[in-house]
Amino acid sequence: MSAVLNKYRGTLVGALVGDCLGANYEGVSSVIPFGEVTDYTMSGIKNKKDPIRYTDDSAMTRAICKSLLDQKKYDNRSMAVEFVKEFFKDPTRGYGQAVGKVFERLRDDDPEDITYPARCQFDGQGSYGNGAAMRISPLALFSKNSQELQEIACQNALITHAHICGVNGAIIQAIAVYKALHIEPPSLEPYNFIDHLIEVAEKIEERNVDKRSLSGSPSLPTRPFSYAGKMKEMKELFWQNDAQETGTVVETLGNGIRAQEAVPAAIFSFVLKGKLSFEDSVNYAISLGGDTDTIASMTGAISGAYWGVENVPALWKSKCEAVDEAIVFADRIFELHQERI
Ligand code: F2R
Ligand code: MG
Ligand code: MG
């Protein structure tokens, strides 16, 4: 297998196993001892007979893969159709409480502007949930360059999440995966990685201010929030001796369902354990508690893009649902990407 294909497979399999394993703890509000998490993920699952089910995070990631492969290009309406199909095929995958309404309106009203239902959410504020960021990794595999990726990640997010924090979270998560695809282990430089994301975040946050009066743009937050600012705080965490103290990390970054908490938590989990292994990053992400399936899935996507599928534990690949399909999606998106470039 080529090194690039290894990374493509790592991205989608990483996102999938993070979701499946993290789901065991989703909603545990406090931090979880690292040892307890590794007991579960490294031995507790050994005797499981049935595949460990994936949740909405992977259902939506799969929908993006299907649309890309069906259309052989990025098409936002097709993306919306695939989300709706995937949701109504199995609404019990643990979706966010509000996003189902968007899928209902997309199905029942078939609006000309497919971003309209999302813009009606939360009294016109739009959702700041992490549901756009959690599914975005296939777009990093598909895109020709960072600019294209930022544009399609934004379009994709707007189908369900109109709040600027939901949209920007998706763009930053997508760029984190893209960047990790282009670094060969063990050469990760945590500060450089975060600095790159700060630069991207500053640019998009600057553009948001310029575009604030255009219709169809994401809604502005009622309280200003800056991903660039949050990632600067993340850098500070590295300087502190207690950086691995999960309580401090959660206090600083958060671990909740909001994109502005889950995306920084996922990036931090990758970089903090990025010198060690794929599984350390994912286990660490789960140990932060809170929205564990989603934080671990996003960490898994970034870490898998960096380490490649060969470094994902064999036990995890054998126990999680639909790993083989994730590999087929990765291979086909790899081919599509080769054709596009
Ligand atoms: N929904 C869950 N977990 C709940 C428990 C699931 C349980 N284990 C089960 O099996 O049933 N997880 C999934 O949801 C998150 C992604 O959510 P998404 O797609 O962003 O959905 P939504 O509904 O748009 O937003 C989520 C909630 O965030 C709050 N919220 C968002 N925007 C808001 C706003 N502008 N004002 C106020 N609140 C806002 C709401 O409570 C939304 O319901 C992932 O964790 C995925 O795993
Ligand atoms: Mg989920
Ligand atoms: Mg979740």
67-124 pLDDT, tens digit per residue, is 999 999 999 999 999 999 999 999 999 999 999 999 999 999 999 999 999 999 999 9
pLDDT, one tens digit per residue, over 155-214 is 999 999 999 999 999 999 999 999 999 999 999 999 999 999 999 999 999 887 655 544
pLDDT, one tens digit per residue, over 246-291 is 999 999 999 999 999 999 999 999 999 999 999 999 999 999 999 9
Give the C-alpha distances (Å, rounded to integers) separating 283 from 22, 197, 329. 8, 23, 25
Q: Which residues are placed with Cβ below 5 angstroms of ligand 2, an ion?
A: 55-57, 94, 293
Closest C-alpha to ligand 1, atom 15:
96
Q: What is the dihedral of CA 90, 92, 94, 99, to 10 degrees?
A: 60
Q: Is 57 in the pocket of ligand 1 (CB under 6 A)?
A: yes
Cβ(117)–Cβ(105) below 8 Å? yes
Closest C-alpha to ligand 1, atom 18:
131
The tokens describing 115, both together, are: 């971003």
| pLDDT reading at 222 higher than 60 | no
Closest C-alpha to ligand 1, atom 2:
96
Res 214: pLDDT: 47
Written as one letter, the residue type at 209 is: V
Record the pTM.
0.96
Q: Is 303 in the pocket of ligand 1 (CB under 6 A)?
A: no
Distance 338 CA to ligand 3 centre (A): 32
Q: Is 271 in the pocket of ligand 1 (CB under 6 A)?
A: no
Q: Region 14-40: what's the mean pLDDT? A: 97
Q: Region 127-143: what's the mean pLDDT? A: 98
| Nearest alpha-carbon partner for 305 in 37, 22, 3, 21 | 3
Q: Is 221 in the pocket of ligand 1 (CB under 6 A)?
A: no
Q: What is the separation, in whole angstroms, between the first and last Cα of the chain?
A: 20
Alpha carbon 252 to its chain centroid, in Å, reads 20
Q: Is 131 in the pocket of ligand 1 (CB under 6 A)?
A: yes
Cis omega before residue 186 (within 30°)? yes
Distance 51 CA to ligand 3 centre (A): 19
Q: What is the CA radius of gyration of the chain?
A: 18
The dihedrals phi and psi of 219, each to the nearest 5 degrees, come to -70, 150
Q: Is 53 in the pocket of ligand 1 (CB under 6 A)?
A: no
- Paired strand residues for 258: 129
Q: Region 202-230: what's the mean pLDDT? A: 73
The tokens describing 130, both together, are: 């992490």
Average pLDDT, the chain: 95
Indicate if ipTM > 0.85. Answer: yes
Helix (H, G, I), strand (E, B) or coil at 291: coil
The dihedrals phi and psi of 163, each to the nearest 5 degrees, come to -70, 140
